[in-house]
A and B are shown apart, each in its own frame.
Chain A
């Protein structure tokens, strides 16, 4: 009976000292203390303490009496409800939704609610919801990256038999980011040709976690302003970033000391929504193939 009760409660209990990212409803229980919280396609109920920020897309955020959020609180396409006795130290912003703050709530920062945001279209919201959460899977540290030569994403033909060691990250026409040889432990890159696209998969293993994180920050600083349809999340361990540039779609992520990139460049002038959808589905297939490859190699 006790075990059954614990199993039922387990998903709702967030472990202390870590960030929580969830698709679907989530409750941070009264005794729980967590860092950042990201929820997509579900409602968030906070009864405990959030030491970082809260981000909810396609769902409501409810702060019960006694709940506290130290950082910023953002809700996209949903409403915010702050009860009497709840506290928010940072700013609260609601886009395409309403903010309801009960008298007696302790709100230190500003509260803004933009009920209708015309530029936040259903298409963009769906993209944000899909991309904001991502499994940042990386190969085990003992895995030799040359083993990726055996990777065979469906519908793609490798340009050469063996992958290349690289000392820069080439992002098609967006540009390239040099890698410091002294900081790179191993690297692997392969270009593939599909029927109507060119695909590049790159994996870089740095010597330390800090070097990977520093490279990620540099990458963001260099290219952030030149991308479109960009969804970046660096909360929790590591980070991931989806974006478009010209005819190409990108998915980059890092965790620990490994950074990975999957890029799909379409051979279509001025692609429309249907073409983008196809290209992004194709990109996600390659990402899934990469993760499956790691899973299989771990066995």
Chain B
């Protein structure tokens, strides 16, 4: 029976010495060789364990199998995607430039509307402005507000 990524991730978090049988370890190894998300989680845990070991704990730490980092590294190199062709990269660059110009224009327009709208009630779905200790960006689905003190050290920050 094939397991889901969630189930494999539970195996990654298990103590391999005590909690995984040989068949489970091998099944996990096969899956990690194929799945980038689970590999990333395993690599993160592996690094963490290495750091714990480096600081010299008296208590023995659970080890991930020694083959794990090697296999992960080998497959990561194999799976590294090739660079896009020049034309595709050029198209991407032009698209990005157009996006930046569009966003900058939108920002300037919204700044103008908020400056002139002082003390008036506005009903907008998109606005962005910065003032003394305050920064706001509101989009159709996003709401970002930073309200800081004079030093910029303390305050309220909301990001959705």
Contacts and interface: CB of A to CB of B under 8 A. Distances in A.
Nearest to B47: A176
A55 interface: yes
Contact of B140 (A53, A118, A230): A118
A72 B154 contact: no
Contacts of A219: none
Contact of B131 (A91, A118, A217, A267): A91
B35 interface: no
Q: Determine the interface band of chain A, counting residues with CB < 8 A from chain B.
A: 35 or more
A207 B99 CA distance: 48
Contact of A170 (B48, B136, B142, B143): B48
Contacts of A172: 44
B120 to A, nearest CB: 8
Contacts of A230: 157-160
A298 interface: no
Contact of B125 (A109, A118, A239): A118
B10 A235 contact: no
Interface in A86-129: 90-91, 93, 95, 98-99, 101, 107, 109-120, 124, 128
B34 interface: no
Interface stretch (A6-14, A137-145, A221-229): A221-229
Interface in A44-82: 52-53, 55, 71-72, 74
15 contacts: A38-B156, A53-B133, A74-B147, A109-B132, A113-B120, A117-B143, A166-B52, A193-B13, A198-B13, A229-B160, A230-B160, A233-B156, A234-B156, A267-B6, A268-B6
Interface of B: 5-6, 9-10, 13, 15, 40-41, 44, 48, 51-52, 55, 57, 59, 62, 114-115, 117-125, 127, 129, 131-134, 136, 138-143, 145, 147, 149-150, 153-160
